[in-house]
Amino acid sequence: MPDDEPPAQVTVIESGNGPYGQIVAAGHHLQGADEPEKFGGRDTGLSPFEYVMAGLGACTSMTLRMYAERHQYPLERVSVQLSHKRVATSDGRSVRDHFQRIITLSGGLSHEQRVRLLEIAERCPVSQTLRQGSTIESLLG
């Protein structure tokens, strides 16, 4: 993102629909967020980690589409299936988030083009952000 562009903003506010229901606003888009019933929510929207996976999947697909168009690959469709779990580290003292991404590419792509697109998926900005971690600053409004 160029320095002269304002940062993207998302606003989240409690919806009043159960103890954890939220309304997520981004520009003119409105979505729901909630916890599943097994965690005390009403399952009225995506869970927070489902939103993270949605961002990773969308970024992956868009990055692949942009690359394929730029290089004139015969990519017809991209599908990204994601899962998330917490796994113990090798020392057994902590856990890490593990995201699995299964990328299905449709079209008359060569083996080399498929391998290249898999490499490009690793470069999507959300992948890079999740791998390196981020700084989170919290302020009172």
141 part of a folded domain: no
3 part of a folded domain: yes
pLDDT of 5 strictly over 70: yes
139 part of a folded domain: no
Cα–Cα distance, 33 to 14 (Å, whole number)? 9
How many other C-beta atoms can be found within 10 angstroms of the C-beta atom of residue 28?
A: 5
Which pTM value belongs to this model? Answer: 0.89
**54 and 41 housed in the same domain:** no
pLDDT in tens, 34-60: 999 999 999 999 999 999 999 999 999
30 part of a folded domain: yes
In this predicted structure, what is the pLDDT of residue 3?
A: 66
**Residue 6 pLDDT class (50, 70, 90 cuts):** confident
Cα–Cα distance, 82 to 67 (Å, whole number)? 21
Q: How many helices (H) and strands (E) does the chain have?
A: 3, 5
Total domains present in the chain: 2
- The pLDDT of 77-106, averaged and rounded, is 94
Place of tokens 């902590």: 94
Pairing of strands 22-26, 75-88: unpaired
What CATH number is attached to the domain comprising 72? 3.30.300.20
**24 and 55 housed in the same domain:** no
**57 and 68 housed in the same domain:** yes
